[in-house]
Copies of this chain bind each other. A is one copy, B any other.
Amino acid sequence: MSRPDLSPTERSTVARGRHRAVTDRAVLDSVLDAGLICHLAVVVDGAPVVLPTGYGRDGDTLYLHGSTGARSLRLLADGVPGCVSVTLLDGVVYARSAFHHSVNYRSAVIHGQLVPVTDEAAKLHGLRVLTEHLAPGSWQRTRQPDRRELAATMLLALDLTEASVKVRAEGPVDDEQDLDAPVWAGVLPLRRVWGEPRPCANLADGIPVPLEVAERDQPG
């Protein structure tokens, strides 16, 4: 089935920096798959609240989770709208003028209603997607959630329909008048790297670091 382009609504249509907008869903997927955490916004008592949290993507569904005691999640489960942003910072852009300094980045913003997932099998599936996004290979290797843990966890699903994606991946865009200035201009790239795995202090003897941890792909 062909997937429609992104940005079908006014609020998901990029207004500022239109030339950075991308409507290809494959780019949305790649941004979400490369990120590790998102920022979730919800309106509480008339004011916006933004919080960092984990997520996972399965096809055109983004899963988020948290404690059933978290007020922001309860509000979302009750139907107030949410907004999620995932941003990857790829470098600092040094221009010849202060005004044209910038950053290279990949960012996704998704608007919509987050729907609570309550069916037990569907909930386990969503939690598996979240766990595997954060720690690939962990779902099979570790103890899976029991009834008490499932009951304490709220799982929310957000459809990846109303989304905007922006990408900047280039050098400085200086004014013509500044090009001859004797000022260095360019990009200082930024990337994320894993360090050496640190075993838990009370880990039993003889348990090696799993390959999927020791050789986890660099997030870049």
Residues of A within 8 A of B (CB): 11, 15-16, 36-37, 39-52, 54, 66-67, 69-71, 81-85, 87, 89, 91-92, 94-99, 101, 103, 105, 107, 109, 111, 127-128, 131, 134-135, 138-139, 141-145, 149, 153, 171-172, 174, 178-204, 207-210, 213, 216, 219
Contacts and interface: CB of A to CB of B under 8 A. Distances in A.
Given A36-B89, A98-B143, A187-B198, 12 more contacts: A15-B69, A15-B70, A39-B50, A41-B83, A49-B109, A91-B195, A97-B144, A98-B128, A180-B204, A184-B210, A184-B213, A193-B193
Contact of A43 (B47, B89, B193): B47
Which applies to chain A's interface (DSSP): helix, strand, loop or mixed?
mixed
Given A16-B69, A127-B98, A185 B203 contact: yes
B54 A50 contact: no
Contacts of A202: 179
A185 B199 contact: yes
A142 B97 CA distance: 5
Nearest to A73: B16
A98 B138 contact: yes
Contact of A45 (B11, B95, B183): B11
A209 B196 contact: no
